[in-house]
Amino acid sequence: MYNSPSVEPVWKYYKWRLEKGINNADVYVLVLNEGSDMLDIIYSDTLVNMHTAGAPVIVGFAKEYDEALQVAAALVCAAIKETGSPDIKRYIG
């Protein structure tokens, strides 16, 4: 799980709440985009209210949108460094 420092101590609680359909106020969720190798940053309230056939793959959490962007950028940099490609799905594997 790739999280911002502000949510690192409690990310399991946020994930549990999402799995139960309970909103996590003021939390952004990083999920794998279904159609590409990109990440989506979704406000947790939106994710709880989404009615999709399959649950998205949660990659991380952040307390603020800026933190979510930093986590996403760090993840892309790590993927490029290790695999030579920004393909996050392949990197997380």
pLDDT tens-digit profile, the chain (93 residues):
899 999 999 999 988 888 888 877 789 999 998 888 789 999 888 877 664 556 788 899 999 999 999 999 999 999 999 999 998 988 887
Report if residue 87 sits inside a domain. yes
Give me the number of domains the chain comprises: 1
Report if residue 42 sits inside a domain. yes
Give me 85's structure tokens: 């490609």
Report if residue 2 sits inside a domain. no
pTM score of the predicted model: 0.84
Q: Residues 18, 29: contact at Cβ < 8 Å? A: yes
Report if residue 1 sits inside a domain. no
Report if residue 83 sits inside a domain. yes
Domain that holds residue 82: 8-92
Report if residue 3 sits inside a domain. no
Report if residue 72 sits inside a domain. yes
Taking the CA atoms of 84, 73, 19 and 54 in sequence, report the sign of the dihedral they define.
negative
